[in-house]
Amino acid sequence: MIQISDTAAQAIADHARRTYPDECVGLLLGTLSPPTADATNGLETGVSMQIRAVYPVENRWEGQITLADSDDPTSRRDRFYLDPRDYLRADRAASQQGLDVIGCYHSHPDSPATPSERDRVGAQGVGSGTQFAFLIQSVYATAAADLRGWFLRDNGARFAETALAVTPTPDA
């Protein structure tokens, strides 16, 4: 399960509205709770992820960037590129807050908050599992819509949706 503070969820929605009709992109800062054994059956329960803040970055997509040989250049309206230097800056900011980079988010303008094949191919560099989350914010001309959480599974073969709970931001 992914928990996200209400202020972080609102920041994602605001970022998506500001960049509309282009896709927005940013990183998720927070903490991971390691798997624990369930006392009733001895099985491991999943990793719990708490998103405390977001680190918005500029969508640096340019037409000459391709993810696959069959990719044809389009625009920031349906693509994003996260510069590795932005990732390093986000990691530094997270460390200063006692947090880690635990995922990324992006928007789908005028589309549902479900991952595309292009999203899956682009996400493969970070590996699969429950250690890195992918949030997608659906946004339309007048408002942000659904925010949904995903993990890359089966060695990058597919995305699996996970529960996403918006929680009150803890007092500082």
- For 109-165, write each residue's pLDDT tens digit: 999 999 998 888 888 877 667 789 999 999 999 899 999 999 998 888 899 999 999
Cis preceding linkage at 21, omega within 30: yes
Indicate whether 146 belongs to any domain: yes
Q: In this structure, is residue 113 part of a structural domain?
A: yes
Query: 112: helix, coil or strand?
Result: coil
Q: What is the mean pLDDT of residues 72-92?
A: 78
Which residue segment(s) compose the domain that 109 sits in? 2-37+44-167
Report helix, strand or coil for 16.
Answer: helix
Report if residue 138 sits inside a domain: yes
pLDDT of residue 69 exceeding 60? no
d(CA 54, CA 105): 9
| The pLDDT value given to residue 94 | 98
| CATH assignment of the domain containing 153 | 3.40.140.10
Query: What burial class does residue 30 get, using C-beta atoms within 10 Å of its C-beta: 0-12 exposed, 13-18 middle, 19+ buried?
Result: buried
Residue 76 burial (C-beta neighbours within 10 Å; 0-12, 13-18, 19+): buried
- Give how many domains the chain has, as a whole number: 1
pLDDT in tens, 4-53: 999 999 999 999 999 999 999 999 999 998 766 555 555 445 668 999 99
Inside any domain, residue 85: yes
Whether 67 has a pLDDT exceeding 80, the answer reads no
What is the DSSP pairing of strand 2-5 with strand 48-57?
parallel
Q: Is 143 within the bounds of a domain?
A: yes
Q: Residue 172 domain-assigned?
A: no
Residue 88's SS3 state is helix
Secondary element (H or E) of residue 17: helix 6-19
Per-residue model confidence (pLDDT) at position 43: 45
Residue range 64-74: mean pLDDT, rounded: 52
Residue 70's Cβ-count burial label (10 Å; 0-12, 13-18, 19+) is exposed
What is residue 11's three-state secondary structure? helix
* Domain assignment present for 6: yes
Answer yes or no: pTM beyond 0.95. no
Higher pLDDT, residue 108 or 71: 108
**Of 13, 84, 23, whose CA–CA distance to 54 is shortest?**
13
pLDDT of residue 95 exceeding 50, the answer is yes
Residue 29 lies in a domain: yes
